[in-house]
């Protein structure tokens, strides 16, 4: 079990441009399902480029509590051996820390035929349905009773099935795929999510011997195999972190080069940021945000107010809507940001308004931002991972000092963010709150 630490805060002196190179971490939402999927292999698996963040640490603790061996063997390298797997009951205290705890349901059903999973935790950004998970696992042959926990069993084993997800849920897609790879017969998952991290999970499973086709599409076909062997895998880069750094560089007038970038993951992100006036240089595995950019919002035809709206991949990612709002406060013009997926995601904007931003909240899903606004340092508290990063971006371009509390939320998704930003010139310090 991890040792509890005192609450911490970030103290930021704003108004200073950054300069240099910063490397994107491994994808958080790729590492979590891949760690869970290691339980499907009957030999050891070594993962590299694993982000050393709170959510990953919790997933490793959950896996170890089930009897498997799970340990860090390097700064960003983890070794998982499921040989000692002997429990199907997830620790409730650990599970309530992260939403991704529910990703262990599929692997446990596939390996042990049982899973006892408490309700997951994670960001409070609105209703996050578990229905697609339950329906997918039931289609594969699981019997599920829901009381204080989700009690799952497979009295006749799992079998391949036709599954249609009523929403393109990333985690439900991942749970269905992990449960299906060892199930006899063919499984077809329709309306599957196809985000970069879902693709990474599928390719990882194929590297261990799974048979999956349709990767990158919204229809996945899985032919069940008898076993998965061990192996090694490099977690893909975090496109959400790359997008966060792009926004940060643009509003602080910085000259920042981001390394470890997968260009094909940036297509929809760069298109939406271009609407905010951000220009970038994109290489084979790097991206540069040049300095001295005048951010001007690009109106729609007829000089109509434009909008940025999120959606399932390849649409603009929901995890970057908070970042887009922060960037829009520093761009000339007016834009509508439409968060379709989570009704509480935008409730942090009052923090930006307190700093001087001009934002109108239309309803839980939509805000209108007019800029540019001169921002001033404030005392803030991070409600979730992405809102915390958006507030950090605002603080770095604001006049004066800001203090962001509940920094543990930011640490759940961004590895050593203060150290990495300090290395490129940010005036940021971590203190006990």
As a dihedral over the C-alpha atoms of residue 244, residue 247, residue 251, residue 254, rounded to 10 degrees, the angle is 80
Cα–Cα distance for residue pair 182/201, rounded to 1 Å: 15
DSSP track, 195-230: -HHHHHHHHHHHHTT-EEE-TTSSEEEEE--S-B--
Q: CA triplet 191, 241, 359: central angle to 5 degrees? A: 85
Give the phi and the psi of residue 313 in degrees, each rounded to 5. Answer: -55, 135
**Residue 119 CA to chain centroid, in angstroms?**
19
β-strand partners of 23: 259
33: left (phi over 0), alpha (psi -120 to 50) or beta: alpha
- The H-or-E segment that residue 131 falls in is helix 131-139
Catalytic residues: 123
100: left (phi over 0), alpha (psi -120 to 50) or beta: alpha
| Cis-peptide, bond into residue 326, ω within 30° of zero | no
User: Do 421 and 245 form a contact (C-beta atoms < 8 A)?
Assistant: no
Strand stretches in 43-192, DSSP E = 45-48, 69-74, 77-81, 114-117, 143-146, 150-153, 162-164, 186-190
Sequence-distant (≥ 6) Cβ neighbours of residue 3 within 8 angstroms? none
CB atoms within 10 A of CB 298: 12
**Residue 199 CA to chain centroid, in angstroms?**
14
- Tokens 């109108």 locate to 360
Cα–Cα distance for residue pair 167/304, rounded to 1 Å: 31
Sequence-distant (≥ 6) Cβ neighbours of residue 85 within 8 angstroms? 39, 66, 67, 68, 111, 112
Give the phi and the psi of residue 294 in degrees, each rounded to 5. Answer: -95, 110
């Amino acid at each position: 079990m991890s040792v509890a630490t005192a609450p911490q805060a970030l103290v930021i002196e704003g108004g200073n441009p950054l300069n240099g190179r910063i490397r994107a971490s491994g994808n958080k939402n790729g590492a979590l399902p891949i760690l869970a999927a290691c339980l499907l292999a009957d030999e050891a698996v070594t993962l590299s480029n694993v982000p050393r963040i709170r959510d990953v640490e919790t997933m490793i603790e959950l896996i170890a509590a089930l009897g498997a061996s799970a340990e860090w063997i390097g700064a960003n390298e983890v070794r998982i051996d499921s040989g000692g797997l002997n429990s199907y009951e997830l620790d409730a205290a650990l599970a309530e820390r992260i939403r991704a705890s529910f990703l262990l349901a599929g692997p446990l059903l596939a390996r042990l035929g049982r899973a006892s999973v408490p309700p997951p935790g994670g960001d409070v950004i609105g209703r996050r349905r578990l229905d697609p998970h339950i329906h997918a696992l039931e289609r594969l042959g699981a019997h599920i009773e829901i009381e204080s926990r989700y009690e799952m069993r497979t009295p006749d084993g799992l079998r391949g099935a036709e599954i249609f997800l009523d929403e393109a849920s990333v985690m439900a897609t991942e749970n269905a795929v992990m449960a299906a790879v060892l199930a006899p017969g063919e499984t077809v998952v329709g309306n599957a999510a196809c985000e970069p991290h879902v693709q990474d999970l599928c390719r990882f499973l194929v590297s261990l011997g799974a048979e999956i086709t349709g990767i990158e599409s919204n229809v996945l076909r899985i032919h069940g195999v008898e076993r998965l062997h061990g192996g090694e895998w490099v977690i893909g880069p975090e496109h959400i972190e790359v997008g966060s750094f792009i926004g940060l560089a643009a509003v602080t007038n910085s000259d920042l080069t981001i390394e470890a970038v997968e260009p094909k993951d940036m297509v929809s992100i760069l298109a939406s940021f271009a609407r905010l006036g951000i220009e970038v240089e994109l290489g084979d595995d790097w991206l540069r945000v040049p300095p001295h950019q005048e951010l001007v919002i690009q109106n729609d035809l007829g000089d109509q107010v434009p909008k940025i709206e999120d959606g399932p991949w390849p649409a603009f990612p929901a995890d970057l809507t908070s970042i887009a709002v922060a960037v829009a406060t520093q761009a000339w013009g007016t834009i509508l940001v439409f968060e379709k997926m989570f009704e509480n995601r935008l409730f942090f904007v009052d923090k930006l308004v307190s700093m001087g931003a001009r934002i109108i909240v239309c309803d839980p899903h939509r805000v209108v931002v007019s800029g540019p606004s001169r921002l001033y340092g404030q005392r803030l508290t991070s409600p979730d991972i992405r809102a915390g990063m958006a507030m950090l971006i605002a603080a770095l371009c604001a006049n004066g000092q800001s203090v962001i509390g509940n920094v543990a939320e930011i640490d759940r998704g961004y590895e050593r963010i203060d150290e990495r930003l300090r290395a490129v010139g940010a005036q940021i310090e971590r203190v006990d709150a």
